[in-house]
Structure 1
Amino acid sequence: MMNFSSLIHEFEQSNFFKYIGFECVSVEYGKVIIQIQKRPDISNLKDMLHGGVIMSGLDIVMGITSRTLGVKAASTIQMEVKFVNSVFEGTTEIIGELIHRSDHTAILNGKVIDDQGNLIAYSTATFRLYS
């Protein structure tokens, strides 16, 4: 079993990660879960969790998932997000999972689930892997 404590620490100490308020829940090879608590300062004009926060969370969780593959860095090449619901309160989990890996790229999916188990958004993305 791989130890991802330094990877977790790296992301948890990044300014953007801390500023938005993401928290790592689970990190394993090919699968990562982070969460975010809905707050007024990251909400839109309708008091829903802002879509940009959701998209950032998906990008981050899939980026961390890419890094669990043992590479030094990963960058987003392409990302598509579909929103299917809104978050008005509570804690939201954001899950990233590996679908396919080649030597230089990884394809991942992401999903956002509220604390009632409702699907909020889902995503697919391609990441460039750097050895």
Structure 2
Amino acid sequence: MRGQSSFFEHIGCTKHRGREGEILLTLQVQPEILTVEGTIPPGIFSSMLDIVIGSTIAELVQQPTTTVNLNINYFDFTNCGPFTAVGTIIWRNEKLIAGEGSVLDRDGNLTAKAAGTFKVMGRSIE
């Protein structure tokens, strides 16, 4: 599993493997990332989803990936952390891979969901 960026360390996010080998991102909410209303900024969830889907794909192909498209639905910005993001692959061809990701709060409630398409950089997927 590849490392994580200093941005994610700064906001309190860690990357690890789940029970079934899937890549998970966990966010321990830091006070400095909250909005003035005390909610989670949508950009935090979008970053988590982009990274968890991209990391899931990169782990499969062992190549760097880049986001081509990412569609996100937000359901709840309440600070009910820690939050966990998980990604899955739903389609692939030689150059592009599509995935989905979900962010769940501490009680397992869906807070955000995304579908994205990622380009594999470098060699073709076999």
When the two structures are superposed, what TM-score results if normalisation uses the length of structure 1?
Answer: 0.84
What's 2:43 paired with? 52
Return 98-107 or 73-82, whichever deviates more. 98-107
1:27 positional shift:
6.1
Q: Secondary structure at the match of 1:18?
A: helix
Cα RMSD of the aligned pairs, angstroms, is 2.0
What's 2:76 paired with? 85
> Is contact 1:76–1:128 with CA below 8 Å preserved after alignment?
yes
What's 1:65 paired with? 56
Gaps of 5+ in 1: none
Work out the CA distance in 2 between the residues paired with 1:41 and 1:115: 19
Counterparts in 2 of 1:41 and 1:119: CA distance versus 1, 3 Å: same
> Is contact 1:32–1:97 with CA below 8 Å preserved after alignment?
no
Residue 109 of structure 1 pairs with residue 100 of structure 2: yes
> Is contact 1:39–1:49 with CA below 8 Å preserved after alignment?
no
Partner amino acid for 1:128? Answer: K
> Is contact 1:77–1:125 with CA below 8 Å preserved after alignment?
yes
1:25 positional shift:
2.9
Return 16-25 or 61-70, whichever deviates more. 16-25
What's 1:20 paired with? 11
Moved over 2 A (4+): 27-31
Gaps of 5+ in 2: none
Q: Percent of aligned positions with the same letter in both sequences?
A: 26
